[in-house]
Amino acid sequence: MPTSIALTAMQKTLILIAVCIASITMPLNFTAAAVAIPAIGRSFEGTPMALNWVTNAFMLTFGSGLMAAGALADHYGRKTVFIAGISGFAVFSAASTFAPNLLCFDLLRAAQGVAAAAAFSGGMASLAQEFDGAERVRAFSYVGSSFGIGLAFGPIASGLMISTVGWQTVFLLITLFAVIATVLGARYMRDSRNPDANGVDWPGALSFTWALTVFTYGILKAPENGWSDPAVIGLLVCAVVSFAVFVLIERRVAQPMLDLSLFRYPRFVGVQLLAAAPAYAYVVLLILLPIRFVGIDGMSEIAAGQLMIALSAPLLFLPIAAGHMTRWFKPSTICGLGLSVSAVGLFWLSHKPVGSTPLDVMLPLLVIGSGISLPWGLMDGLAVSVVPKERAGMATGIFSTTRVAGEGVAVAVVSAVLSGLTAQHLAASTTEQSKNMNEAAQRLVTGDLATAASILPDTAHELLVASYSTAFSTLLLILTSITVLTAAVVFLFLDRGNVEDETDVERTNLDQPT
């Protein structure tokens, strides 16, 4: 389809549908795998460490590959990268159902992450070329709602499919969605690229991917081995050195993958901070709350899944509503307000201890989900609005990397903090050995109350639960503070006039070597 011919409204809608369907598969792929881990473990008889990589392998390669995928989309074409990514995603998803062992399955999960990075970066950059102004904001709000569909229905649909026909069908469903997105994208998308791109910054892409991979792996390894473990320290030091090398490379190349001059603009910095906000205000709860409900509160998996609907259901419609609200309010105002509402919900939930009734917990979960839904559908549009549209792939890659990598790091860090807080509360109320308390705290964080009780046989069951409950409340207060600070930054940095006011200045800097 020639790029010089204007698209009809129907063609643009079908392109949007292709990207939305692709966007559904990514959170579905993450949440479904998390729900399927017990069944996968029974099929492959995997160790706990190997099973952890069922989710970590996907998040690691997805997060670390987004920046390079954005650069590839700008250089080789957004449609080309999208089709390569989503079709590869379909192939790897189908192949995972036939994996002969857990190692092969984990490697396929890593390959899924690479393909997902290409599909996401190419698809979002394509939308940025076809939609402008308020229409673009609304288009991205539909993508945000598509993510909400994957998050809201992923755990419930996966649980039903796993219990009736097996965990493999979950990945076959993901394959089907990916195939549909591939067909629509191949038929209706137009290829576009940055006309000024004269090559991909491979040294920058490889050094950044390596640095983020090492850093993420170090963070994921720390909760199990401890922050003082030589391997963890070595990984984190290696990551810092690698990031420094990446910065040096980007300052010297004529066409950098990451234009460091962008960080001089408060609006661009604010968008990156906004990208990380859902990780601490929402995503970590998707992991921690089901563990608490099932392992500590003693709910059934079905009851826990039903309760989690209150957290995810607002993402089905509020991102679209937020897109329409931009007719009357600035996106920065809507985002800042949404984060403030989420902070209220987190603070409210911190006062609901273990053992609270489902209704008592449901209401603050609904507030958190409603608040985070407002910026959810606008963030991607803001990410591409702070740079000239010719660099949309780069902007999408930076923003998506911040968001996805932030989610992976947040889950690991928050789990470690919860474990440390639980150990502190246990230490204040029992005379058991410190080593035993740390091990018991880690078991409590994973929802294994029975094993924690066996590790501390002289500690009452009620004391174990109370220590975890108090630690969980303290953690929620920390997350509340982070969310409030992020809301303040969004108000201060993003609410400074119209985006177009800075576009010409940013374009001038983008065209100059850094």
pLDDT score, position 513: 40
SS (H, E, C) 263-322: HHCHHHHHHHHHHHHHHHHHHHHHHHHHHHHHHHCCCCHHHHHHHHHHHHHHHHCHHHHH
Burial of 424 (0-12, 13-18, 19+ CB in 10 A): middle
Same domain for 246 and 269? no
- pLDDT over threshold 80, residue 258: no
**149 within a domain of the structure (yes/no):** yes
The answer to whether residue 195 is domain-embedded is: no
| Mean model confidence pLDDT for the chain | 78
Q: Is the pLDDT of residue 419 over 90?
A: no
In a domain, 163, yes or no: yes
Residue 513 lies in a domain: no
Sign of CA dihedral 18, 275, 487, 270: negative
pLDDT tens-digit readout, 449-475: 777 777 777 777 788 888 888 899 999
214 and 333 part of one domain: no
- Note the pLDDT of residue 60: 76
Q: Which of 256, 279, 301 is the last residue of a domain?
A: 256
HSE-CB at 286 with a 13 A cutoff on CA atoms is 31
Answer yes or no: is pLDDT of 392 > 60: no
Average the pLDDT over 329-345 and give the result. Answer: 86
The per-residue pLDDT for range 6-46, each reduced to its tens digit, is 667 788 888 889 999 998 888 888 777 766 766 776 788 66
Kindly indicate the confidence band of residue 177, based on its pLDDT and cuts at 50, 70 and 90: very high
User: Which of 190, 213, 245 marks a domain boundary?
Assistant: 190
Using CA atoms in the order 106, 111, 113, 118, what is the torsion angle rounded to 10 degrees? 180
47 and 157 within one domain: yes
**Which of 112-121, 257-266, 304-313, 388-397 bottoms out in mean pLDDT, i.e. has the lowest?**
388-397
- Considering the domain boundaries, does residue 463 fall inside one? yes
Do both 234 and 304 map to the same domain? no
Share of the chain above pLDDT 70, in %: 81
Asked if residue 414 lies in contact with residue 288, where contact means CB atoms within 8 angstroms, the answer is yes
User: Does residue 507 have a pLDDT over 60?
Assistant: no
Residue 346 is predicted with a pLDDT of 95
Mean pLDDT of 307-311: 84
Chain segment 138-153, per-residue pLDDT in tens? 787 788 778 767 776 7
Q: In the 8-state DSSP scheme, what is residue 8?
A: P
Residue 508 domain-assigned (yes or no): no
| 494/410 same-domain check | yes
Mean pLDDT of 420-440: 73
Mean pLDDT of 359-378: 88
**Interval 259-278 mean pLDDT:** 74
Q: Name the region of 415 (left: φ>0; alpha: ψ -120 to 50; beta: rest).
A: alpha
pLDDT of residue 47: 60
Does position 312 have pLDDT exceeding 90, yes or no?
no
CA–CA gap between residue 469 and residue 464 (Å, rounded): 9
Q: Are 216 and 406 in contact (CB under 8 A)?
A: no
Q: Which domain holds residue 310?
A: 265-499
3-state secondary structure (DSSP) of residue 350: coil
506 in a domain, yes or no? Answer: no
Tell me: do 364 and 487 sit in the same domain: yes
Over the stretch 227-243, which tens digit does the pLDDT of each residue have? 778 888 999 999 999 98
pLDDT digits (tens, 9 = 90+) for 97-118: 898 888 898 899 989 989 998 9
pLDDT at site 245:
92
Q: Is 208's pLDDT higher than 70? A: yes
Same domain, 306 and 430: yes
pLDDT classification of 434: cutoffs 50, 70, 90: low
Do 45 and 130 lie in one domain? The reply is yes
Q: Residue 360 falls within a domain, yes or no?
A: yes
Q: Find out whether 374 and 487 touch, Cβ atoms under 8 Å.
A: no
CATH number of 46's domain? 1.20.1250.20
Q: How far apart are CA 480 and CA 281, in angstroms?
A: 7
Q: How many whole angstroms from its chain centre is CA 274?
A: 12
Average pLDDT over residues 117-125: 87
Query: Do 250 and 278 share a domain, yes or no?
Result: no
Q: What pLDDT does residue 26 have?
A: 83
491 and 358 in one domain? yes
Provide the residue type at 431 as one letter: T
What's the confidence (pLDDT) of residue 317? 77
Q: Which pLDDT band, with edges at 50, 70 and 90, does 182 fall under? A: very high
Same domain, 207 and 109: no
The number of distinct structural domains making up the chain is: 3
Give the pLDDT score at 196: 65
User: Are residue 206 and residue 186 in the same domain, yes or no?
Assistant: no
What does the pLDDT look like over 283-297, one tens digit per residue? 888 878 877 887 788
